[in-house]
Amino acid sequence: MPRAPNTAAPLISSKSARRLIGLLYVAGAVVIADQLADLAASVLAKNPTPALASWRFGVFGLLISRSSVFLIADVMLFTAAILLGHRKMIRSLGALHFLAALLLFAGFLGFALDWAEVRLQVPQAGVRNFQYSTFRAGLLALLVVGISVWSGIVAFKATRGHGKQHRGRSPLLTGTQREGAGE
């Protein structure tokens, strides 16, 4: 079976537009690096104690509180790869998403185990707030895991076909009108 090429027919052919879209890669990477650096600074500011359940619990909560920014950076990277027709990049992003989902799910399991220990240390006055924050972080973590797995699957499925299939039919990015839609 012949292998799919690393690049597909690009959706944007103008050279200057492609250069501009290429900056989305840089922007997405900078956003992710900035968030990771900021997270590292917050975590390392105080003496890191990974042996403590409360420390691990707090770090996971901090990571999840930044999920929106990571998702926005993710959209930037995928948009650039799709518009530029970088099939190999989309597949790499897909593989990274599977890895991220795996790590995040492992983190979620650890978070759930730590919760059982940390909740005993929470003063009565803060129990409600603690429970809400835990629910919020847990829910968001599961949703991000789901989106990561889904992104990985879509990244591989969308790049599975060969060059001649579906050519010229991509209303998401080319603005061509769907047949019969809304008529």
Sole binder of other proteins in the list 60, 78, 108, 111 (CB under 8 A):
78
Task: Check residue 154 for interaction with other proteins (CB under 8 A).
Answer: yes
Sole binder of other proteins in the list 72, 88, 109, 122 (CB under 8 A):
72
Name which of 113, 101, 93, 97 is nearest 142 in CA terms: 101
What angle (nearest 5°) sits at the alpha carbon of residue 162, between those of residues 159 and 164? 130
Task: Check residue 143 for interaction with other proteins (CB under 8 A).
Answer: yes
**Residue pair 104/141 in contact by the 8 Å Cβ criterion:** yes
- C-alpha 78/C-alpha 119 separation (Å) is 39
Task: Check residue 36 for interaction with other proteins (CB under 8 A).
Answer: no
- Euclidean distance between the first and final Cα of the chain, in Å? 41
Where does this chain bind other proteins (CB under 8 A)?
8-9, 11, 67-68, 71-72, 74-75, 78, 82, 85, 87, 90, 128-129, 132-133, 136, 139-140, 143-144, 146-147, 150-151, 154, 157-159, 161, 163-167, 169-178, 181-182
